[in-house]
Amino acid sequence: MQPKISLKRILSITGITGVVLFLIIILFLTFYLQGHTYIYYVKPTSTSFEVPVRLIIPKIGVDAVVESLGITSDGAMDVPKVPNNVAWFNLGPKPGENGSAVIAGHYGFWKNGEGSVFDDLNKLRKGDEIFIEDEKGTIIAFVVRELKRYNQDADVPEAFNLNDGKSHLNLITCEGVWDKDKKTYSDRLIIFADRK
């Protein structure tokens, strides 16, 4: 004769076992994770992309609002209105589309002593990741291909016009020596990145 075990008894044993197991996992994670360093990572999502609203560069601690800007009245690419924002050149491709999307950011200290969003852009190296988030929360990743420096007056068509059927992101900022007369820096730094 087989002993009868009620469904109620099985559920109570299973429930107690589940609670004990859950508590063991929580205690383990609490003690194990204390004192460890964690790397900030953003998981890329989706393939279609809308207007960019956020730029994230984990290596240099950038988490910036993206302004959508075109050109100034004198024909130059417009720049962000505040030092901690960046500006997407909205007359070109969106990040994630074929071609070269371009984002500009300030460099250097302001009158109030505040630094700028791209002060550490020169610390990026080949293989570093850059993330862009659009207005719907979609995130895509780019990988740095190379860094190049140019004179402030240099014509750099490859920053805007690479049409190889792939998606690129180019970050532009100033660098070098401050020119008091022109009120700008002597050089330009461009980070060339490819979609991951």
Give the pLDDT confidence score for residue 193 in this predicted structure: 96
Give the pLDDT confidence score for residue 8 in this predicted structure: 56
Residue 79: Cβ-neighbour burial (10 angstroms; 0-12, 13-18, 19+): middle
Global model pTM greater than 0.75: no
The tokens of 61 are what? 């601690």
With a cut of 50, list the residues of the chain below it in pLDDT.
1, 7, 10-11, 32-33, 35-46
Candidates 137, 114, 115, 120; CA nearest to 54 is 137
**What Rg do the C-alpha atoms of the chain give, in angstroms?**
25
**What do you get for the CA distance between the two ends of the chain, in Å?**
65
* Dist CA 76 CA 123 (whole Å): 26
Greatest Cα pair distance in the chain: 101
Q: State which H helix or E strand residue 16 sits in.
A: helix 7-33
Q: Cα 196 to chain center, whole Å?
A: 13
Question: What burial letters (b/e) apply to 140-162, b meaning 16+ CB within 10 Å?
Answer: bbbebeebeeeeeeeeeeebbeb
Q: State which H helix or E strand residue 76 sits in.
A: none
Q: What is the pLDDT of residues 89-146, one digit of tens each?
A: 999 999 999 999 999 999 988 778 788 999 999 999 999 999 999 999 999 999 999 9
Query: Is the CATH number 2.40.260.10 carried by domain 52-195?
Result: yes
Give the pLDDT confidence score for residue 24 in this predicted structure: 61
Candidates 117, 121, 50; CA nearest to 90 is 50
Give the pLDDT confidence score for residue 144 in this predicted structure: 98
